[in-house]
Amino acid sequence: MEFRSWLISHLEKRLSKDYKDIKVNKEDKVHEFKGFYPDIILASYGITVGLMQVETEETLEDKERITLWKKLAGLGPRLILMVPHHMKAKVTEILWNEGLAGKVSIATYELVIHL
């Protein structure tokens, strides 16, 4: 399992405490929301309240990601970008430059290994 898929699975478990209905799209795009397939669709009591995209250093290099973010941010529910902690400032700058800062939330992750 690649890191991104593992992280999506991990987030699904963590978020299940706060959301009653979580739909996950990893490799297979199964759960559609208004014609799009976000990584995680967050809902409670039948209402979709958030869409989450999990980004890695590699996916953030793709300029088409910004176009996808704009489309997802315009669908209604809050868009949450899960990005590497050390790239938060860069992503924040991109969101400001693209006029998305008020429509998108940023969450971060970092991998820490203690020996």
SS (H, E, C) 10-24: HHHHHHCCCCCEEEE
- Does a structural domain hold residue 101? yes
CA distance 28 to 70: 22
Q: Does the global pTM surpass 0.75?
A: yes
Tell me: the pLDDT tens digits for 41-99? 999 888 999 999 999 999 999 989 999 999 999 999 999 999 999 999 999 999 999 99
- Does a structural domain hold residue 41? yes
Domain count, the chain: 1
Q: What is the domain extent for residue 40?
A: 3-109
Residue type, 65: R
CATH classification of the domain holding 22? 3.40.50
